[in-house]
Amino acid sequence: MPANTTASSGPSDAKKPGRKKGRRARLFVLVLVLALVAGVGYGTYWSVSTVRASYPQTTGSMTLDGLSGEVEVKRDAYGIPQIYADTDADLFRAQGFVHAQDRFWEMDVRRHMTSGRLSEMFGSGQVETDSFLRTLGWRQVAQKEYDEVLDEGTKKNLRSYAEGVNAYLKGKEGRDISVEYAALGLTNDYRPGEWTPVDSVAWLKAMAWDLRGNMQDEIDRSLLTSRLDKDQIEDLYPGYPYKQHKPIVESGAVSPVTGKFDPEATPSDNVGSATPEGAAEGLNTQLSALSDTLDAIPALLGPNGNGIGSNSWVVDGKHTTSGKALLANDPHLAPMLPSLWYQMGLHCRELSESCQYDTAGYTFSGMPGVIIGHNQDVSWGLTNLGADVTDLFLEKVSDDGYLYDGKTRSFKTREETIKVAGGKDRKITVRATNNGPLVSDRSKELDKVGQKAPVSNAAPDRADGYAVALKWTALEPGRSMDAVFELNRAKDFTTFRAAAEKFEVPSQNLIYADTEGNIGYQAPGRIPVRSEGYDGTRPAPGWDPDYAWKGYIPFDELPYEYNPDRGFIVTANQAVIDEKKYPYLLTEDWGYGARSQRINDLLTQKIKGGEKVSTDDMQKIQMDDFSEIAALLAPELKKINISDPSVREAQKLLEGWDYSQASDSAAAAYFNGVWRNILKLAFGNKLPKEMRVKGDCINVPPAKNSGPADQQKRLVRECGQRDGDTAQPDGGDRWFQVVREIVDDQDNAWWKAPARGREKALESRDDLFARAMEDARWELTAKLGKNIDTWSWGRLHRLTLTNQTLGTEGPGLLQRALNRGPWNLGGGEAAVNATGWNAASGYEVVWVPSMRMVVNVGDWDKSRWINLSGASGHAFHAHYTDQTDKWVDGELLDWSYGKEAVDAATVDTLTLKP
């Protein structure tokens, strides 16, 4: 049957940046055809029908092997499916089928990534990445979870899902599945294999990897030792500002009576973690090799670090216009095409023991169930908790094994064969200690890691250096897949918490609301208990048993809240609980709370003013683009005496500015330019090359202890080495706090900088601010023109949606055909509307609210949602990016859930028959 390719999309506006007319979309189809023709060289003819061959059938009926009864797939005008079935098995079988219809290329690439098999699809360029991923062993852990840990009901659902995916694949050539396979087929005879339940489980490892906590900070602290002293490094990692930014849980403690966390308990004195002493100070700059390796791992969720996060908050029914709870969520992830999320409803026609689900929300293609959303009784949302669940261990190794507690122990080893498209197989040996796999084995440079690592006198002879092992909670089998299905079935706060107990990896902030107006929060996760005196912020000596993990924080002792008096709960990657009120170390590297406090302030202002919170209010808060750092610095910048009339002209933009970062704001453009240059002058030029952005070259003194005193007086040319998405200073709210703590100290050493050309040295804060204002004026003149009346933040701050494989690595014509944008955006780094950018490298958007939802709990059909792109992963399909324009404008779509509302919104119905 012919594929249905018609669907209505949102209204277009040709006057707005980034809008795509239908005519342009048709031209892109022709561009792709031309790109494919140009790439063949074998006389193969490609047509528009080739591009459209993989579009899914969405109307009529089809036979689906294994079904016990008919299943209906009802799609609305945006292609969002609602599935209706009579058994769990049929429901998840249909979910797998529908995911594969729209997103199988994405699913296939993802499972090859999680199993370290990208080389089978894309050739030798992926061997290094595959080697590192094989060393981590995600696939082996996922297999063990499936074989030994997961509940039998979970495994049945996973098998049903896989059967649905394979039913879709049956009898299809690559070009029938996705146009990317057609393009890949020009150079590779790759054919997709069958889907397995373990392919779904392994996806959780990729999710956990991108949300792994402070591993990059751990590396960066070590790299900083080559250029900065201990006090300077501590300046760049200040403590969490509890006085300015409230934690998630504002009261409670682990009860000395019950041994469990009690939201009403009073904390004991001196329960915080001890100050770390005697830990390994860090590694030398050769750790940059590991940092480069991490950058090369495909980040499905986004650049790891302060930017990765999310907003979520929930307001109880006493404080809303509807009298029902309201819940909002918008995860901040890497912009990608298609979006990571797939909207879907999973409905049993009648709830029973054999059909237990009536849930809707955001799913991951490749995994059964709903990740974020609601069922008939409760709603839930997720943000990254940020717990420190990784540690790097220095290991003293020899041909015989590794040293631990004074004895040499044998490595755990396994052989891995990496198949390479168009090339010879590669074989690697994976070695592991009791602290985890040796990640240093995957880099020639890392073979010598630790040659100069400062460690205590008690450390063993370093010989050729120490190896580096990775300890990570996700490398142990867990029950997170069980948790997904239990969340989907939760009926109240008790069953919600029972599900949360199994959500072990990655550790997430879970918020909750139910139809009775109740709200709640739970911090779940497998979070290690470290030795007293060690805080996990720097690599540890693996040979010393005093640094070994002592177990995990018991779930009953993890913080939670239920119906707090303030009437709302906010989670936005800030500290979970005041460290003085909690006996365990969760992390030393929280987000610093700029977004969370802004949300807190807006809700408090509304509620204390006697007003009720509406769905519109929740939506408006999601788009709030207030800049906390601008509110701190702009008043000081306006006081600077500027003599250059062109710079003074730009400075005047800050007068009367309300610190909002709308797309059309010239003031926001100029301030963010000044902020970027303040960071570079005060901090960036003083960081080691391993942390600065590639291409950033400056003259610096040699590294500490690099030679005789006379040599150290000479300047050397040094260029940055890090990828732009992860370079420092990135300008996130950690840097807000760094600057806040020194802004009133005119003579602080960080404000000083050497002379530059004919310009004098900087001796004070105001000297540096003046130079930054000047540099920003000329930087923006080069980018936006001399006339400041034409400046706007959105012209600097642009979003491009990129196909995650051929859209980044394919031929130029193919990239232009598969990718979309740019769009001019408002918002910014650490704003609630978190359109993140990395100040070290420029203004382009590197992470975004990947979706937005506002759930009207109990009055479900009044809920709203939006996705970054669209339901379809097929280039040029009507639903490829049909939600993006509305997403840019901060609009949300109506979210139908009840059968009558779904039927009213349905434009296509596909019946799947046994």
Beta strand 798-801 with 716-719 is unpaired
Beta strand 893-894 with 864-867 is antiparallel
Q: Among residues 313, 408, 412, which one has the least CA distance to residue 621?
A: 313
Is residue 334 pLDDT above 60, yes or no? yes
Averaged pLDDT for residues 503-527: 95
> Is the pLDDT higher at 11 or at 205?
205
pLDDT for residue 298:
55
Q: How many residues does the chain have?
A: 914
pLDDT of 613-660, one tens digit each?
A: 999 999 999 999 999 999 999 999 999 999 999 999 999 999 999 999
Residues 661 and 656: their CA atoms lie apart, in Å, by: 14
Is residue 383 pLDDT above 90, yes or no? yes
Is residue 30 pLDDT above 60, yes or no? no
pLDDT for residue 266:
82
Averaged pLDDT for residues 293-319: 70
pLDDT for residue 468:
87
Averaged pLDDT for residues 766-775: 98
SS3 138: helix
Residues 667 and 652: their CA atoms lie apart, in Å, by: 9
Longest dimension (CA), the chain: 84
Q: Which amino acid is it at 736?
A: F
> Is the pLDDT higher at 825 or at 273?
825
Looking at the chain, the whole-number percentage of residues with pLDDT higher than 90 is: 70
> Is the pLDDT higher at 30 or at 888?
888
pLDDT for residue 661:
98
- Could you tell me if 330 and 865 are in contact, meaning their C-beta atoms sit under 8 angstroms apart? no
Is residue 543 pLDDT above 50, yes or no? yes
| Token duo for residue 537 | 């912020």
**Structural element, H or E, at residue 678:** helix 666-682
Residues 869 and 336: their CA atoms lie apart, in Å, by: 8
pLDDT, mean over the chain? 87
- Is cis: bond before 256, omega within 30 of 0? no
pLDDT for residue 809:
63
> Is the pLDDT higher at 840 or at 298?
840
pLDDT of 780-838, one tens digit each?
A: 999 999 999 999 999 999 999 988 777 666 666 777 778 999 999 999 999 999 999 99
Q: How confident is the model at residue 666 (pLDDT cuts 50, 70, 90)?
A: very high
b/e per residue, 782-792, with b = 16+ CB within 10 A? Answer: eebeeebeebb
pLDDT for residue 871:
98
pLDDT for residue 460:
67
| Token duo for residue 713 | 């007086």
- Is cis: bond before 338, omega within 30 of 0? yes
Place of tokens 């807006």: 602
Is residue 708 pLDDT above 70, yes or no? no
- Is cis: bond before 822, omega within 30 of 0? yes
| Token duo for residue 316 | 């109880």
Cβ partners under 8 Å of residue 265, min gap 6:
252, 253, 254, 255
Is residue 204 pLDDT above 90, yes or no? no
> Is the pLDDT higher at 647 or at 291?
647
**pTM, rounded to two decimals:** 0.91
Strand partners, 864: 854, 894
Is residue 329 pLDDT above 90, yes or no? yes
Averaged pLDDT for residues 382-396: 90
Residues 762 and 549: their CA atoms lie apart, in Å, by: 46
Q: How confident is the model at residue 106 (pLDDT cuts 50, 70, 90)?
A: very high
Q: How confident is the model at residue 371 (pLDDT cuts 50, 70, 90)?
A: very high
Q: Which of 374-378, 563-567, 753-757, 838-842 has the lowest mean pLDDT?
A: 753-757
Secondary structure E strands in 22-134: 60-63, 71-75, 81-85
pLDDT for residue 714:
73
- Count the Cβ atoms, other than its own, within 10 Å of residue 1: 8
Q: How confident is the model at residue 538 (pLDDT cuts 50, 70, 90)?
A: confident
pLDDT for residue 91:
98
> Is the pLDDT higher at 41 or at 358?
358
pLDDT for residue 446:
45
Residues 208 and 658: their CA atoms lie apart, in Å, by: 38
Q: How confident is the model at residue 293 (pLDDT cuts 50, 70, 90)?
A: low
Q: How confident is the model at residue 700 (pLDDT cuts 50, 70, 90)?
A: confident
pLDDT for residue 20:
39
Q: Which of 39-53, 197-211, 355-369, 745-759 has the lowest mean pLDDT?
A: 39-53
Looking at the chain, the whole-number percentage of residues with pLDDT higher than 70 is: 85
Residues 1 and 108: their CA atoms lie apart, in Å, by: 25
| Token duo for residue 568 | 């709302």
Cβ partners under 8 Å of residue 709, min gap 6:
none
Q: Which amino acid is it at 311?
A: N
